[in-house]
Amino acid sequence: MTSLQLSVNEEMVERFLDAAATGDLTNVSTLLSRVPSLINQKGSRNWTALMLAARNGHFPVVEMLLAHGCDKFSVNSSSQTAYDIAKFWGHRHVSNLLGRTGAGCQRVLPGADLSQQENYFSREMLHRRSEKRTDSEWLEVQRRDPETVYILFSDLGPMVSTIQKDGGASAETKLCRFRYEAVEDLLQKPATALVFLGVKKREKPSSSSSSPSPSSASRRTEEGVREPPAWFAIGADHDAAELLKRCREKNCSFLKSANRDLLNFSEEEAGVVAQARSLLAWHSRYSFCPTCGGSTAIMEGGYKRSCMNVNCRSLMGVHNTCYPRVDPVVIMLVIHPDGNQCLLGRKKVFPAGMFSCLAGFIEPGESIEEAVRREVQEESGVKVGPVQYISSQPWPMPSNLMIGCLTVAISTDIKVDETEIEEARWFPRQQVIESLQKGPRPAFTVPPRQTIAHQLIRHWIGMNSNL
């Protein structure tokens, strides 16, 4: 009898963990209401339901388990918490949720500054719902839903409306948003690249949220809760002037100067643009298979291209030619051994008087630390020692990931590689402060606040001079 009871309990735990891993919120809730003790039960390799939900990015399940008081500091056989797992697998929305509670998280991540503001292009207003990319039926329902949002790109420039503010002294750039009926014809054309971006993150429930309109019935979850609208990006190979006729807003245009114009969005829309533009840039370059030269087809909501040649090697095993590429770049602020100067350089293409952090691509088989040391020495002749990671920033020009670091120089003589940069100099802390504060006659200017270079410089000014 005891053996039978043990078997039933084990089966219940397995069902509970499996429901959490697959994002089955209804089943998790039902099992937990029947057997509350399941909440912190562990399965294979000491993984809990919270860890499994975090691993797969199931935000609603994680949210519910936390609301029921699960132990977020529990660790698996690899000494990982649910926060560690979500962060490792890139589920920012989940890791942010698990990271709320300040003092408690300091116990797990000593020294972590959880209140640090995200860099521009990093904030996500959409829940990516990556688990739905292979669900063609679900994607089709979202595509046709009357409340789904579409944003249009032409030659990698998003369609925007520009609103003049402060008597024309400044301007606000906003994405033009379209509904299905306005883009239905574009979706029928084979040259159109369509990318599923995610669904709007759920806001605080309102009194009206319990009564969805008839048109949104297709977006109701199994729990009867209305699902937020889905977002798609369209890369249209059409005449830009003809596409602009679809927009009913005033002052509409397609952005062309990426490095300048893409910095004028709100923090939330900037994140959407970074995701969409990077994916569409990849699609524009991979119409043909780099393995055999055959045609490729878009799959998995725009996150995969598959070769149409059934004999192609790219169809055997996992190949990075099938998935969107991200190019990692180290960008570093070099600190003088005295702690009160930093090394900045400028390229010929920079505006007059502007200096920035040194940067360069990470090479295959190279660590972040070694890339920092190599790039600094190649560009400036300065050798550096300790390297400290600070933060990262997506940079959709077209698809870079800027990995921001601080590093300490172990030599100070500068010998510029003129093929890389035009000039490099040591700047005293006070001059840097004056530049950030935009004094009357600063010795130089720094990049705009939307860049990670600006944030690294500001971070150094605000910290103790010792790494």
Shared domain check, 455 and 408 = yes
Residues 352 and 437: their CA atoms lie apart, in Å, by 18
Mean pLDDT of successive 10-residue stretches along the chain, which has 467 residues: 56 92 93 91 92 94 90 78 83 81 44 60 92 95 96 94 74 91 91 94 50 46 69 89 86 82 91 96 90 92 93 82 90 94 95 96 97 97 94 94 96 91 95 86 91 93 60
Residues in the chain: 467
The CATH number that applies at residue 101 is 1.25.40.20
Position 184 in a domain: yes
Shared domain check, 259 and 341 = no
The whole domain housing 35 covers: 2-108
| Count of structural domains, the chain | 3
Give 3-state DSSP helix, strand, coil % of the chain, rounded to 5.
35, 20, 40
The CATH number that applies at residue 455 is 3.90.79.10
pLDDT value at residue 314: 86
Shared domain check, 440 and 343 = yes
Position 60 in a domain: yes
Shared domain check, 430 and 382 = yes
Shared domain check, 361 and 269 = no
Shared domain check, 271 and 142 = yes
Position 309 in a domain: no
Shared domain check, 170 and 275 = yes
Tell me which of 258, 285, 312 is where a domain ends.
Answer: 285
Shared domain check, 256 and 227 = yes
Shared domain check, 458 and 344 = yes
pLDDT value at residue 80: 78
pLDDT value at residue 205: 44
Shared domain check, 357 and 435 = yes
Shared domain check, 400 and 261 = no
In sequence order, which residues have a C-beta less than 8 Å from that of residue 76 and are 6 or more positions away? 42, 45, 46, 47, 48, 51, 85
pLDDT value at residue 446: 95
Position 301 in a domain: no
Shared domain check, 93 and 143 = no
Please, what sign has the CA dihedral across residues 417, 420, 421, 426? negative
